Chain A
Amino acid sequence: PLEEQGHDEL
């Protein structure tokens, strides 16, 4: 899920 891969956008 997104939380694990982190938020890489601004």
Chain B
Amino acid sequence: MNFFRLLGDLSHLASIFILLHKIQTTRSCRGISFKTQALYVAVFVTRYLDLFFRYVSLYNSVMKLFFIASSCYILYLMKYKYRPTHDPSIDTFRIEYLLGPCFVLSLIFNYKFSFSEILWSFSIFLEAVAILPQLFMLQRTGEAETITTHYLAALGVYRALYIPNWIYRYFTEGLVDPIAVTAGIVQTGLYLDFFYVYFTKVLQGQKFELPA
């Protein structure tokens, strides 16, 4: 564990609490992509299968359980409790275009051709692009509630912080995880446009609005 990874994980935790806070206080999941949230459930379930056969640390296990449970709970809130506030007509990204290629990539790029390792690779690739339905939705509506943008920023910062973590680990432990690093750089890259608007507008106290 190092400072960057810890900060990244905390940022990930924060993003989930911000999202829950947004849903509970506005009693609405308007502006949140159900598809992206469903993809995160798939990401966590496929990646954290090793809960059953590999123990890393208490921290690691507790975080894994939290991410699985919270992502399922968010899905429940969107699907049942606040269902009328979700508008599927603007959440139209075709996730087949993400699931298919990620699966094929995981068959090609993995550390061992075994069930759990292929699913692990799949989850890494899928996480990298899982935000696309959400960003696509943002693009369509052209604006977002401020709290939603804080959620997205925390989520983006999480993977961005993993990049210095990997650099640090390379120098201190000689460890390189090419699959996670490549996917992580792609994932962070997808946020660049969003970050630009977030830093130049939202953090200056303006509303998140994309130029028409």
Would B12 and A10 count as touching, CB distance under 8 A? yes
Check B112 against A3 for contact (C-beta < 8 Å): yes
* Interface size of B as a range: 20 to 34
Partner of B64, one of A2, A6, A10: A10
Asked if residues A3 and B111 are in contact (CB atoms below 8 Å), the reply is yes
Contact call B9/A10, Cβ cutoff below 8 A: yes
Known: A2-B177, A3-B117. A10 touches B67 (CB 8 A): yes
Residues of A within 8 A of B64 (CB): 10
Interface residues of B in 99-152 (CB under 8 A from A): 111-112, 117, 120
> What residues of B have a CB within 8 angstroms of the CB of A1 in the complex?
111-112
Q: A1-B111, A7-B177 are in contact. List 12 more A-B contacts (CB 8 A).
A: A1-B112, A2-B111, A2-B177, A6-B56, A7-B120, A8-B60, A9-B5, A9-B165, A10-B9, A10-B60, A10-B63, A10-B67
Partner-A contacts on B (CB < 8 A): 5, 9, 12, 47, 50, 54, 56-57, 60, 63-64, 67, 111-112, 117, 120, 162, 165, 175, 177, 180
